[in-house]
Amino acid sequence: MNLQRLSIGIIGGGIGGVAAAVALHRAGIRATVYERASELREVGSGMMLWPNATRVLKELGVLERVVASSGPNQHFLVRSSTGSTLMDIGLGHFDVPALCTRRSELLEALISALPAGRVCLGHAFESLDRQKSSVAVHFAGQASVEHDFVIGADGIRSRVRSQILGIHEPIYRGYTIWRGLASLPGAVASGSNSETWGRGKRFGILGTGGDRFTWYATANTDCDHADSSEGRRHDLLRMFAGWHKPVESLIAATEESSILKHGAYDLAPLKRWGEGRVMLLGDAAHPCTPNLGLGGCMALEDALVLAKSFCRETTPELALRRYESLRRKRTRHVQQRSLLMGRIGQWENGLIAAGREAVTGMLPASFFERNLRRVYSYAA
């Protein structure tokens, strides 16, 4: 297979889509990303980059740049709302670091590894016209383009997926997630990130370098939960009043306009991810609830496995099938495990929540460390 003659279009300019373009570019394949937004800006606040993801970044040649703008992740604490530590999970020693980073800075690092002109902004995907030897992609208000193959990396509500596999409505899992970014000197010790459990609520704190933090909050709500007239920050300060330091301080230090809010959604594992010359990647193929910090990591893994599949198979069609086959079991496991952790974390009954804290406090951290090591040792 002559890789240099291939042309691949990628719909969606998030972490997965841009990482796929970088991985394909390094394999000698021309890949172009089409993103509906007219500019790249801070979206999604921060994220965990576990060793399975930083291992991908190392292969893509951008790990050093990401490390320079991120915070270390050496311990993960599970805490009660009063601040007591229920479990201190050590992440152990890997060949690559575990990090906490801002999505915007990870995206900038990935884009820097692409030739100019490979990310096209202001291209809102409308439809595909699949032909025998190519795929035409149509955009709103833009000229159509033609590629040999197309990758749909356009998120959980993927329009590419709907076109090739039919409509799959995301499943609401009973709680809402808020995310924010704040600068707060001395808020948490470097390298010690945490998630705090309450009754039907959780609060996570991730250090992204220096005095910068990204946080997330969850609460059991209806799927159409509306903000009060006082705004999201006020609502969160009321919800988490009396929680241990620095929960309230982090919320208060966050600009109202920058607080993101999304329902917790996922999909049941799909029977297939592609058809013909079109394939899905990342949340378009296997969205999971954000309870293990692995959504973005899975997309990075997808990107590298996809590129390596093109290098190892005799035809592009076989490469797409190989990629899907290699990724299906692992992503299904992460989806199911994340769903379970979310259910446990959102327990609201007082007695059950108290029992959860008691059991967590008694379990040896090594039990979780061994399980996590199996997840993070994965090499794409």
- What is the pLDDT averaged over residues 234-260? 96
pLDDT band at 75 (very low <50, low <70, confident <90, very high): confident
pLDDT band at 380 (very low <50, low <70, confident <90, very high): confident
pTM of the model: 0.95
| 8 touches 24 (CB < 8 A) | yes
pLDDT of residue 42: 54
In a domain, 123, yes or no: yes
In a domain, 9, yes or no: yes
In a domain, 227, yes or no: no
CA proximity to 146, closest of 312, 284, 342, 8: 8
pLDDT beyond 60 at 339: yes
pLDDT of residue 3: 77
pLDDT of residue 295: 94
Higher pLDDT, 190 or 316: 316
Strands 135-139 and 142-147: what pairing? antiparallel
- What is the pLDDT averaged over residues 220-237? 96
- SS3 of residue 137 by DSSP: strand
Q: What percentage of the chain exceeds 70 in pLDDT?
A: 99
In a domain, 147, yes or no: yes
Residue ranges making up the domain that contains 340:
3-42+104-170+268-345
In a domain, 221, yes or no: no
pLDDT of residue 94: 87
Question: Which DSSP string do the residues of 100-126 spell out, in sequence order?
Answer: EEEHHHHHHHHHHTS-TT-EE-S--EE
In a domain, 17, yes or no: yes
- What is the pLDDT averaged over residues 244-249? 96
User: Element (H or E) spanning 232, and its range?
Assistant: helix 232-239
In a domain, 115, yes or no: yes
Q: How far apart are CA 21 and CA 299, in angstroms?
A: 12
pLDDT beyond 90 at 4: no
In a domain, 166, yes or no: yes
Query: Which CATH number is 332's domain given?
Result: 3.50.50.60
pLDDT of residue 370: 80
pLDDT band at 355 (very low <50, low <70, confident <90, very high): very high
> pLDDT tens, 127-148?
999 998 999 999 999 999 999 9
> pLDDT tens, 191-212?
789 999 999 999 999 999 989 9
Q: What is the total count of domains within the chain? A: 1
- What is the pLDDT averaged over residues 175-185? 94
pLDDT of residue 44: 60
